[in-house]
Amino acid sequence: MKILLISTSDKGGAGKACVRLHEGLLNLNLDSNLLLAKKSTSVEKTFLLRPKKNNSVFYKIKKKSLKILRELKILKGPKMTSAEMFVEQREQGLELYSFPDSNYDITESELYKKADIINLHWVSGFIDYQSFFKKNTKPVVWTLHDMNPFTGGEHYTENYLSIDEKGLPIKRVLTNEEIAQFEKVLKLKKEALSDVKNLHFVTLCDWMTNELKKSEFFSNFPVHKIPNGINSNVFKSRNKEFSRDLLKIPLDKKVILFVADLIYANRKGFKLLIETIKKLEQDNVQLLVIGHKNESLAGFKNIIQYGKVNDDYLLSSIYSAADVFVIPSLMDNLPNTVLESLLCGTPVIGFPIGGIPEMVKHRKNGLITETVSVDALLNSILLFLSEGVAFSTEEIRKYAVDNYDEKVQANKYIQLFKSLVN
127 pLDDT higher than 70? yes
Please give the pLDDT value at position 51. 87
Angle at 137 between CA 13 and CA 201, to 5 degrees: 35
Q: Return the higher-pLDDT residue of 409 and 95.
A: 409
User: How much of the chain exceeds pLDDT 70, in percent?
Assistant: 91
**pLDDT single digits (tens) 255-268:** 999 998 777 788 89
- pLDDT exceeds 90 at position 338: yes
> Domains in the chain, please, with CATH?
2-229+406-421 (3.40.50), 240-404 (3.40.50.2000)
> What average pLDDT score do residues 266-292 get?
89
How confident is the model at residue 74, as a pLDDT? 64
Digit-coded pLDDT (tens) for 164-213: 888 888 888 888 878 888 898 999 999 999 999 999 999 999 999 999 99
Structure confidence by residue, pLDDT tens digits, 51-107: 876 566 666 676 677 777 766 766 655 555 543 443 355 446 788 888 899 999 999
**Residue 134's pLDDT is what?**
96
- What does each C-alpha distance from 48 to 37, 115, 118 come to in angstroms? 6, 16, 16
The answer to whether the Cα torsion of 4, 5, 6, 9 is positive or negative is negative
Question: What is the arithmetic mean of pLDDT over 32-39?
Answer: 98
Residue type, 47: F
pLDDT for res 309: 93
Class of residue 317 by CB neighbours under 10 A (exposed 0-12, middle 13-18, buried 19+): buried
What is the predicted pLDDT for the residue at 266? 86
Over 80: is that where the pLDDT of 43 sits?
yes
